[in-house]
Structure 1
Amino acid sequence: MTPRLLRAPRGWRKMSSLLARTQTFGWVELQKLRHDRTELFTRMVQPALWLLIFGTTFNRLHVIQTGSVPYLEFLAPGIIAQSALFISIFYGIQIVWDRDAGILAKLMVTPSPASAVVTGKAFAAGVRSVAQVISVLVLAYIMGIQMTYNPLRILAAMGVVMLGSAFFACLSMSLAGLVRNRDRLMGIGQAITMPLFFASNALYPVSVMPEWLRWLSRINPLSYEVDSLRLLLIGVPSAHPWLDLGVLVLAAVVGIALASSLLRRLVR
């Protein structure tokens, strides 16, 4: 009897297989939360402090002009984006841990492409960041900050946060592929996190920035994420809403491609 040859999936079957593997890798990442469920609660402390201390103080001082929008309302979407950034930018450290534990080498010899591993981890980073949307919204409602109650807008905001988190997680994994050292990666992550945050419109409008900082904010994906969140959560119109979404999608795709190409350097 002639043995039957198994052909590699093509077309839609290949795409379906890739999506299934990506979903599996993402689910495995999320299962890690079962071992430390307190992580979700500890992550909520930082955005709460920003709103309760920084936000209320500057709201009373009136030193940052935000037009007709109260400063606390202006700040809340920026804090959501900031919290998601802080979660995602250190995601590369986890992949270095996987390398040191021998897990990454086993994943890389499976039939799954590197892009499936990267996309799964980026998706997991996005899901973790969604908790910040919920926590900041709940706190905003308690503080009397006017935020939307529309479930469709809230779901769209979660999608925006996931796109932004995917890019920054992929940026972190790309850096991991370049430096291949946990301590160096942690130092680089700490060095770029605050510049990314302050070179965006999360804390203040672009109009009050010096000209050189405006240029930096225009190439910073975090600014486009904040613009989308303000449009969805507090109704502040964006000059180019589709551009904001397009930049986030493009950044996530480019981030996945770059991280996938550098991932194999970790296991050499």
Structure 2
Amino acid sequence: MKILNLDFFQSFRGFYAIAFREITVFFREKPRFISSFIGPIIWLVLFGAGFSFNKFNGFSYQDFIFPGILLQTFMFSSIFYGAYLVWDKKIDILKAILVSPLDRKIIFAGKAFSSSIIAIFEVIVLLIFGYILGINFEKINIALLLFIVFFASLALAAIGLSIGSLMESPEGFQLLGSVFLFPLFFLSGALFDINNLPGFLSILARLNPISYIVDLLRWSILGIHTFDILFDFEILGIFLIFSLLLGSRLFENMKL
């Protein structure tokens, strides 16, 4: 591997440069920055307040869906990270990066890591908004929440980069990403209790790795959960390892 021929600090500088570029681009692109919060806020204000008469384990519907809304925010931004990889391929920015002596795995890691940092920022902003809105934060463990968000976003970004490595057009990515993303989200229990789903959908929800991320988020914020917490972490770990291995392999073999 090329990385063996590089000094550790050179590799780290390359990793840092890639991550810093991606984070800088996110904050400079105001429409992208603002739009990442519009959907979640609409869900919380309109749908959450509209069904506030429903109670879930003693919590209002707005409280109950808040962890799912956090997931919606960083899940969509992390997976659609792959669309920006496709754009970089189209305008030859990626080609310029790949001619550097950096191993492709370092470039992949820098991109995935930057997605996790952006996800943490998005979650902190929504936590502030949730506090203003009156979300129940009596049992929240912020350190645990951000830990879960970091690794969940890392896995989701790796999936997005995997798809982006295979696609040649942003439009194709948008189509495939949407087909892949929305079923995962709506069958995750983010917006409802999966125990109330009919048999077949309940089975699909339990086969969905995102369901276990939602469960961890809900546990870290509200103190309630559907599955065994240790099992949730095991699924997250397996999903993370699988995503990183798949993503790094596809990114390494990507054709420009």
Which TM-score applies when normalising by structure 1? 0.84
Q: In structure 2, the residue corresponding to 1:111 is in which secondary structure?
A: coil
* 1:36-71 Cα shifts (integer Å, max 9, x gaps): 3564343222111101101111223x3xx6232322
What amino acid is the match of 1:226? Answer: V
RMSD over aligned Cα atoms: 2.4
Q: Verify the 8 A CA contact 1:66 1:204 in the aligned structure 2.
A: no
- Counterpart of 2:120 in structure 1 is 130
Match of 2:68 among 58, 65, 78: 78
What amino acid is the match of 1:29? Answer: E
- Counterpart of 1:90 in structure 2 is 80
- Matching of residue 185 in structure 1 with residue 182 in structure 2: no
Q: Verify the 8 A CA contact 1:137 1:147 in the aligned structure 2.
A: no
- Taking a change above 3 Å as real, the CA distance of residues 72 and 210 of structure 1, as seen in their structure-2 partners, is same
Which TM-score applies when normalising by structure 2? 0.88
Runs of 4+ in structure 1 over 4 Å off: 16-20
- Matching of residue 164 in structure 1 with residue 189 in structure 2: no
What amino acid is the match of 2:51? Answer: F
Match of 1:57 among 41, 45, 50: 50
In 2: Cα distance, 1:80 partner to 1:149 partner:
16
In 2: Cα distance, 1:256 partner to 1:71 partner:
34
- Matching of residue 106 in structure 1 with residue 103 in structure 2: no
- Counterpart of 1:3 in structure 2 is none
Q: Verify the 8 A CA contact 1:40 1:131 in the aligned structure 2.
A: no
Q: Verify the 8 A CA contact 1:77 1:229 in the aligned structure 2.
A: yes
In 2: Cα distance, 1:242 partner to 1:107 partner:
40
Q: In structure 2, the residue corresponding to 1:147 is in which secondary structure?
A: coil
* 1:59-90 Cα shifts (integer Å, max 9, x gaps): 23x3xx62323222111001000111111121
Runs of 5+ unmatched residues, structure 1: 1-6
In 2: Cα distance, 1:192 partner to 1:8 partner:
38
- Matching of residue 121 in structure 1 with residue 111 in structure 2: yes
- Matching of residue 28 in structure 1 with residue 21 in structure 2: yes
What amino acid is the match of 1:229? Answer: L
In 1: Cα distance, 2:100 partner to 2:238 partner:
28
* 1:167-202 Cα shifts (integer Å, max 9, x gaps): 222212211222332211111112222111111110
Matched-pair identity in %: 27
